[in-house]
Structures are given as structure tokens and as C-alpha cells.
Amino acid sequence: MDLKLKDVAELLNVSETTVRRWVSDSKIPYYRLNQQYRFSRSEIENWVLACKQSQGKGDFSPFDDASEMGGAERLGTHQFGLLRAIHKGGVWTNVPGDTKEEVICAAMQRIAKDLNLDAEVITELLLDRERLMPTALSNGIAVPHTRDFLLQDSYDVVSVVFPAKPIEYGALDGEKVHTLFFLFACDDKRHLHLLSKLAHLSSKPENLAFLRKQPTKEKLLETIKLFENNLRGSQAAAAV
């Protein structure tokens, strides 16, 4: 799927000027079509994951600037998109497994039924994505998702899974994963928007400490609501 510059700005919660600067500095993958900037959905997805994994290693990361990331919560339908997706997907604790493959398989045995999905099929799609590139975001967070699968319904789902014990995940920072956000979206743009929000959420030390406590669904939703509301507040302040 081709994305325009405006699309990328909206999806990543930054200004178009910021995206133009990243393009000028060759910090974001892009190509030109009819003298206009275009962006590949899959390349932007991998870029978001790679940038989050490189955070703290001295490399460029769009998540280092909280004012930028909070400055463009433009789309009303996206304002509490993560809140709605987690409310739909739920929170699952003490999911067994000694490897990420075992945890993903065990999680799908619990989650797939609620989504009217075939657990074996969706598990294989998730593992295929992991073989292509681990979906760890560093700091003990992972966002398992598939490359080409989209929900047929008009809503997005994020199922939060807390393994019975932290697991090796192939993250660049070497940390074991303690929280997995299984991401299932109903269209490509909403998929990238949620992936960006999860990357931003996991860039905050206070959020990581909170997730390590394996909060209940109620407590998690309260925190997510405050997080997304603060994004909107940052935008309003930036506009003054």
C-alpha cells in the first residue's frame, strides 16, 4: 500500500514538516512517484520497529521527542483507538511457554476463539512474521502481528498478554519480553497508527514499570485512556 506524506504524519502523530525533515535527512524510507513522496506500508512498519529497538543506542529514533510524538493526534476516530482496541481484545495473564513460539501458540488458543479465527492458522501467520523480523520493541515489550492479515470487522483488536515468565524474543537490546500486545487491525492505516502508539507508549519508563506489574484490564484501560488523552492535550498546547 502506498502512503502519502500526509498519511505518514497522521499515522505517526508528527507534523508533515517533521516527516519532510526525516526524508531530507534520509532517516525514513521513501520513494518518489510523479515527483511526490511515497511510502511503503511494510517499510514504514519495519522502520517503526527498528527505530524503537535502536532507542538508547545513540541512533536516530522518532520516539525520543515526546513533544513531536504528542503533537498531532489529528484524527478524531483515532483519538482513543488504542483504548477501544484493548477493551475489545482484553488482558490475558500467566500465559504459559518457555519460548516465544510456545507463548504465541498458547495465547492464540485463548484469543482466537473470541475473534472467530482459526487458532492454528493465525498462529502460523504470527510466527511467519516473527521469522521475517522479531516484533520486539525493546525494554521487554513485543507487538506480535501479521504481515497481510486484516480483520474483516470494522473494529481493531489489541490483546495484551502477560507471560507466566519473561521470555527470550530476539530483541536487539537482549531483554526478555514481559508484555506482548497482539495487534489485529481492520485496515492498513489503522494498523500503523496503533503500532506507532504502542511504540510511543513503550518509550516511557513509567509505562514500562506499570506494565511489569501485570495490571488488570480495568487499571490498564485507565492508564491507556490517560495516555491517549495526554496526546490530545499536547496537540492543543502545540497549536496555541
The total of structural domains in the chain comes to: 2
Q: One digit per residue, pLDDT tens: the chain, 240 residues?
A: 688 999 888 877 788 999 999 999 999 999 998 889 999 888 888 888 777 655 544 455 565 543 444 333 444 446 789 999 999 999 999 999 999 999 999 999 999 998 889 999 999 999 999 998 899 988 999 999 997 787 888 889 999 999 999 999 998 889 999 999 999 999 888 888 899 889 889 888 999 999 999 999 999 999 999 999 887 655 444 443
Residue 49 φ/ψ, nearest 5 degrees? -65, -45
In whole angstroms, how far apart are CA 213 and each of 37, 56, 124, 161, 210?
Answer: 43, 23, 30, 12, 6
Based on the fold, state whether residues 130 and 177 are members of the same structural domain.
yes
Are 163 and 54 found together in one domain?
no
Residue 2, SS3 per DSSP: strand
Clarify whether residues 119 and 216 are in a common domain: yes
The pLDDT, as a whole number, for residue 34 is: 86
112 and 168 share one domain: yes
DSSP 8-class letter at 177: B
Is residue 178 domain-shared with residue 105, that is, in the same domain? yes
Quick one: cell of 23? 526524508
User: Which of 44, 69, 94 represents a domain boundary (last residue)?
Assistant: 69
The Cα-based distances of 34 to 4, 37, 38 in angstroms read 12, 8, 10
> Given this model, what pLDDT does residue 217 score?
96
| 80 and 64 in a common domain | no
The structure's pTM equals: 0.80
* Claim to verify: residue 174 and residue 217 sit in the same structural domain: yes
Instruction: Give the pLDDT of residue 76.
Output: 44
Give residue 109's pLDDT: 96
Q: Residue 88 burial (CB < 10 Å; 0-12/13-18/19+)?
A: middle
Q: Where is the domain boundary, 28, 45, 69?
A: 69
Domain that holds residue 32: 2-69
Q: Are 178 and 160 in contact (CB under 8 A)?
A: no
What CATH number is attached to the domain comprising 169? 3.40.930.10
- Give yes or no for a contact between 92 and 161, defined as CB atoms under 8 angstroms apart: yes
Are 88 and 181 in the same domain? Answer: yes
Q: Please check whether residues 116 and 136 belong to one and the same domain.
A: yes
* Cβ–Cβ < 8 Å for 157, 184: yes
Which of 32, 52, 69 marks a domain boundary? 69
